[in-house]
Amino acid sequence: MNSFHVGKFALVLIALLFGSPAAHSAESYTFAIVPQFEQRKLFTVWQPIVDELSRRTGFNLKLVATLTVPDFEQELAKGHFDFVYANPYHIMREGTRQGYIPLVRDQQALRGILVVRKDSSYKTPAELNGEKLAIPSFNALGASLLIRADLEQVFHARTVPVDVKTHSSVYLQVANGLIPAGGGVEKTLREQDKAVQDMLRVLYTTREMPSHPIAAHPRLPAKVRLTLQRALLDLAATEEGKKLLQHVPMSEPVATSMADYAPMKKWGLEAYWVD
């Protein structure tokens, strides 16, 4: 074997063992999504968005999805995620620990809803005292924490929460008459099949709150955070981006900060949080 072929063989071996220099040039970051959908739908919705953000930023963004919301909360509390799309209350709770920094949210506010079957006899939330309440997770903000707080504090109705894992499951459980009422949010109800929506009635709607943010861990340099924020806002300004983000749903992304979420600290939701 002559020296040319020896040298070529060595380069191939190095590339196989360590990857090419170009493969390691991009900065790599995790991009975690709270389990808002079952896993297959979550990846269908988010993978094209993350891929496009990788292209626009030059970062190597890896989409991460835990199986359950409690798993997500544990990893978030340990600071294992670089970027996250999360419940606003998750971000607030981590403000004094991991200190995730909100970057972008939907301009449309989030409101929790209490749903019952359309043919249900319930006329007021007060009548649900002692009844089961389907929720997507104990610590879901609009669909659980705020709904349960309002039921007890406003309507003096203490319900029995049943964790059915996803918003879609909440609506199906109620629509099929398996659980008399459920907590959700307006955005996710609009995402359901029309047949399911037609079987439900909104009994109560909560006050408004800022939508779920995409946030960054403070260990990331400011330049990296701003690059991702700018890429998201630029993506949202394109027709392709609007089509991708409408499935989140995030129809009109805007820049945000922790100041937008600060008023929620006075709502007394900590009493309903489950560790």
Q: How do residues 139-185 score in pLDDT, each as one tens digit?
A: 889 999 999 999 999 999 999 999 998 889 999 999 999 999 999 99
Q: Same fold for the domain at 9-108+211-272 and the one at 110-209?
A: yes
Decide if pLDDT at 14 tops 70.
no
Residue ranges of domains in the chain: 9-108+211-272, 110-209
CB contact set of 81 (below 8 Å; sequence gap of 6+): 30, 31, 32, 64, 75, 217
Q: Write the pLDDT tens digit of every residue in 224-270.
A: 999 999 999 999 999 999 999 998 989 899 999 999 988 888 888 88
Whether pLDDT at 4 is above 80: no
pTM of the full predicted structure?
0.79
CATH for 9-108+211-272, among 2.60.40.770, 3.50.30.40, 3.40.190.10, 3.10.20.30? Answer: 3.40.190.10
Domain covering 110-209, topology: D-Maltodextrin-Binding Protein; domain 2 (3.40.190)
Q: 156 is written with which tokens?
A: 């003096």
